[in-house]
């Protein structure tokens, strides 16, 4: 099956060794540098989401926010020609970069990311959007790989609300999702996955003694205009500068996609970890939401 067919059918595809050894080394050094800098940050802020036990002596970073603005190595990776070439085959010849994040699951720790569709967080006028997950470390079954339910990108948007509030996660049982079909995306450092904005995905805590660091870049077809959170793109000038391939347009393409707006917001809407805590903290301890069972 070709890469394009796989992406269309399953909602994701993986490319082994997309970044070469030298590039991986640079990405790892940049990550280490920023983690080192996190020692000067006591609480989560606009640069870092920190674990509850983070300290200057023992940095425990959950997420480096907007890494492309924090280090030139990440900014360069956003426009890597081989990445853009794959994107052009999957979402078209005119592409805008949306945002970046670097999710870290430290050895023996890190939080689960509960099952969700990115589309629930940021609906656009059409669904030609995807996220690229670049493996900064070797990722295998044991250090919390990203997991995706094949085919879940087709069909309706799942319910990400809990008690009437957007909670950034779904209850797979009530949505009739068969999690036993979920695929673990593993590979050596430098490999990358491309997942559709509606693909249902999640990951467990990291039960291994190795870190799991995953750099995520989000891209959209240039004619997909955001229906929420325009400011994530920056102001209009930055929105234009974020075209990484082809050209922009003032004519959004509107497709009849099923959309549930992510409102009202939960008490702490700044990070997926805090948003998802809303459902977890309000659910019984036996809730099935942690994706580690797959």
Ligand X SMILES: O=C(O)CCC(=O)C(=O)O
x-or-dash string of contact with ligand X, 143-172, rule CB under 6 A: ---x--------------------------
Nearer to ligand X, 248 or 271 (CB): 271
User: Is 24 among the residues that bind ligand X (CB under 6 A)?
Assistant: no
Least distance in Å: CB of 249 to ligand X? Answer: 27
Nearer to ligand X, 35 or 146 (CB): 146
* Residue 268, token pair as written in the block: 């702490």
User: Is 203 among the residues that bind ligand X (CB under 6 A)?
Assistant: yes
Nearer to ligand X, 94 or 186 (CB): 186
DSSP string, 221-288: ETT--BSS-GGGG-SHHHHHHTEEES---SSPPP---------SPPS-TT-HHHHHHHHHHHS-TT-S
Where does residue 102 rank: exposed (0-12), middle (13-18), buried (19+ CB within 10 A)? Answer: buried
| Other CB atoms within 10 A of residue 228 CB | 14
CA dist 34 → 87, 99, 133, 190, 290 (Å) = 28, 18, 19, 19, 28
Partners of residue 215 on adjacent β-strands? 102, 134
DSSP state of 48: E
User: Is 78 among the residues that bind ligand X (CB under 6 A)?
Assistant: no
Pairing of strands 192-196, 146-148: unpaired
User: Is 186 among the residues that bind ligand X (CB under 6 A)?
Assistant: no
Peptide bond between residue 61 and the one before it cis (omega within 30 degrees of 0)? no
Least distance in Å: CB of 186 to ligand X? Answer: 12
Residues touching ligand X: how many (CB under 6 A)? Answer: 10
Least distance in Å: CB of 203 to ligand X? Answer: 3
One residue of 87, 90, 113, 224 binding ligand X per CB under 6 A = 113
User: Is 272 among the residues that bind ligand X (CB under 6 A)?
Assistant: yes
User: Is 201 among the residues that bind ligand X (CB under 6 A)?
Assistant: yes
User: Is 185 among the residues that bind ligand X (CB under 6 A)?
Assistant: no
Least distance in Å: CB of 280 to ligand X? Answer: 15
Least distance in Å: CB of 113 to ligand X? Answer: 4
In the chain, where do the E strands start and end? 12-15, 48-50, 61-65, 95-105, 113-116, 129-135, 146-148, 161-162, 165-166, 183-185, 192-196, 201-203, 212-221, 243-245
x-or-dash string of contact with ligand X, 25-64, rule CB under 6 A: ----------------------------------------
Nearer to ligand X, 94 or 206 (CB): 206
| Other CB atoms within 10 A of residue 142 CB | 14
One residue of 10, 64, 182, 214 binding ligand X per CB under 6 A = 214
Nearer to ligand X, 116 or 161 (CB): 116
Reduced to 3 states (helix: H, G, I; strand: E, B; else coil), residue 35 is: helix
Q: Using CB under 6 A as the criterion, which residues of the chain lie in contact with ligand X when the complex forms? A: 101, 103, 113, 118, 146, 201, 203, 214, 216, 272
């Amino acid at each position: 099956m070709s890469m394009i067919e796989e992406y269309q059918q399953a909602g994701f595809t993986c490319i082994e060794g997309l970044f070469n050894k030298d590039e991986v080394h640079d990405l790892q050094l940049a990550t280490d540098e920023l983690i080192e800098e996190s020692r000067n940050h006591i609480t989560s802020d606009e640069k870092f989401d920190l674990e509850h036990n983070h300290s200057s002596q023992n940095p425990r970073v959950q997420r480096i926010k907007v890494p492309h603005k924090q280090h030139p190595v990440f900014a360069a990776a956003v426009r890597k020609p081989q990445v853009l070439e794959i994107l052009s085959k999957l979402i078209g010849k005119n592409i805008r970069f949306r945002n970046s994040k670097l999710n870290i699951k430290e050895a023996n720790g890190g939080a689960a990311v509960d099952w969700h569709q990115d589309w629930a967080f940021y609906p656009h006028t059409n669904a030609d959007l995807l996220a690229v997950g670049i493996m900064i470390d070797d990722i295998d079954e044991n250090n919390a790989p990203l997991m995706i339910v094949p085919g879940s990108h087709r069909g309706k948007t799942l319910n990400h609300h809990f008690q009437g509030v957007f909670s950034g996660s779904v209850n797979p049982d009530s949505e009739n999702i068969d999690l036993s079909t979920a695929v673990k995306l593993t590979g050596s450092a430098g490999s990358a996955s491309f997942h559709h904005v509606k693909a249902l995905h999640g990951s467990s805590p990291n039960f291994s003694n190795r870190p799991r660091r995953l750099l995520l870049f989000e891209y959209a077809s240039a004619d997909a205009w955001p229906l929420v959170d325009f400011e994530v793109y920056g102001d209009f000038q930055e929105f234009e500068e974020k075209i990484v391939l082809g050209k922009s347009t003032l004519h959004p393409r509107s497709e009849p996609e099923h959309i549930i707006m992510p409102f009202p917001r939960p008490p702490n809407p700044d990070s997926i970890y805090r948003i998802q805590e809303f459902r977890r903290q309000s659910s019984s301890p036996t809730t099935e939401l942690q994706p580690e069972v797959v």
